[in-house]
Amino acid sequence: MGGKKKGLFSFRRRSHKKLPVPPHSPQPTLEISGSPSDNRLVTKAKKKTGGARLWMRFDRSGRSELVEWEKNTIIRHAAIPARDLRILGPVFSQSSNILAREKAMVVNLEFIKAIVTAEEVLLLDPLRQEVLPFVEQLRQQLPHKTQPKLLGGGGGDEQESEMQVSSSRQWLPVPEATEGLHSELPLPFEFQVLEIALEVLCTYLDSNVADLEKGAYPVLDELARNVSTKNLEHVRSLKSNLTRLLSRVQKVRDEIEHLLDDNEDMAQLYLTRKWLQNQQLEAHLGATSSNNLSNSAHVVRRLSSTRSASIVTSNDDNDVEDLEMLLEAYFMQLDGTRNKILSVREYIDDTEDYVNIQLDNHRNELIQLQLTLTIASFAIAFETLIAGAFGMNIPCTLYNQDGIFWPIVAGMTAVSIVLFLLVLAYAKWKKLLGS
């Protein structure tokens, strides 16, 4: 009785006991090999963590791996703002954007959602059915497009001006090469990825337009032959699909047109150029680290101003010539796809006009038939009037004459027929009835 009683919630004190913290484990990665169907099975076997999304990394040589990264990991790895990940989210799934950042390019083209840097590609949801062709194209084309092209018979200075070696032992083309060798150099890595993405997207949209054309013309021809509720419903569904497809093509086309109209935006997309200039700046700073602090600060200010002038505010057409030619080619292809959709829509409009003409013609025929029956009713009404007059209980000498009934009936019928023909001829003379 004299002992101290334990409180009702005294067991909560045990929660303050420190527990050993397990060591941090690295992010799970999965090396990709085999067919896409095998990759899908492997991904289903994996258990996603909370907030993590499935990404696929491609390096310059075409090697790939699957990773599950959270939003903060992607932001730190690619050095992009958080709002760019919202652009790649499901809310903007039908939008089209190509955004340039300091060290990355955010590509949101229909089902292709990727973050491209000067050294790698991060592809979101790579195992979707629509994205698999893009993954296969990256595996096939990147190893061939990124092979360096060395100069033959040139000196060491010329080779150094054409190629640079990065810290990860990868060969990159230098955009400051001589003008005569400009056409022989491959596109920068980010433009190769952008070219593959636009190629896959244009092929996908062309395929959808071809399927739309294949199913549209039979439905429209059937509607022209037989106007029914079922055929009208098919045409309504066709017009809805056509409108959605035209909107998707128009969004991609407008985004490319927006880039073509602004050279500054196109210059910002040269990630390899900016990456190389950063490497040169760091190398120069390392070489001059033994000098005094004032000279180093002067060099940093001079190189920074030169870099800003050549990348941010450059208006020289030669700086964006490669990207401009690339975008113009796919802009023309998308414009051709858009024209195909517009031709289908024009065919739908022509069919609707033809159906309306048919319905108007049927309506006019019904009106003419109604007018003819009205004239006949008027003629018969005259004969009915005479018959009603004779049917009155009024004394008349004609009632007492024998054989007078049939001549009177025949006469009234003849007068009704003549009246009908006269009114019908008047209606045709006034062009109220067709010939």
Eight-class DSSP state of 400: G
In the block, tokens 């033994």 appear at 290
Q: Do domains 29-143 and 192-359 have the same CATH topology?
A: no
- DSSP bridge pairs for 165: 171
When the pLDDT of each residue in the chain is averaged and rounded to a whole number, the result is 75
Distance CA(403)–CA(222), nearest Å, equals 64
* Residue bearing the bigger pLDDT, 413 or 395: 413
pTM above 0.85, yes or no: no
Q: Would you list the domain boundaries of the chain?
A: 29-143, 192-359, 360-429
Q: Which of 126-135, 179-188, 338-347 has the lowest mean pLDDT?
A: 179-188
Distance CA(164)–CA(337), nearest Å, equals 40
Q: Which helix (H) or strand (E) holds 353?
A: helix 321-390
- 34-74 pLDDT, tens per residue? 444 444 434 443 444 446 889 999 988 888 899 998 888 88
* Residue bearing the bigger pLDDT, 386 or 172: 386
Q: Which of 23-27, 135-139, 376-380 has the lowest mean pLDDT?
A: 23-27
pLDDT of 123 higher than 70: yes
pLDDT of 16 higher than 70: no
- 265-285 pLDDT, tens per residue? 888 888 888 888 777 777 767
* Residue bearing the bigger pLDDT, 423 or 34: 423
pLDDT of residue 295: 53
Q: What CATH architecture is 192-359?
A: Up-down Bundle (1.20)
Q: Domain 29-143 classified CATH 3.40.50.720?
A: no
Q: Which of 90-104, 215-229, 290-304, 377-391 has the highest mean pLDDT?
A: 215-229
Q: What is the mean pLDDT of residues 196-204?
A: 94
Q: How confident is the model at residue 95 (pLDDT cuts 50, 70, 90)?
A: confident
- DSSP bridge pairs for 164: 172
DSSP, residue by residue, 366-378? HHHHHHHHHHHHH
pLDDT of residue 162: 38
Residue 201: which of 283, 100, 301, 97 has the closest Cα? 97
Q: How confident is the model at residue 389 (pLDDT cuts 50, 70, 90)?
A: confident
Residues 193-214: b if buried by 16+ CB within 10 A, e if exposed: bbbbbbbbbbebbbebbeebee
pLDDT of 409 higher than 90: no
Contact 63, 73 (CB under 8 A): no
- 312-326 pLDDT, tens per residue? 444 444 478 888 999
pLDDT of residue 64: 87
Q: What is the mean pLDDT of residues 133-138?
A: 91
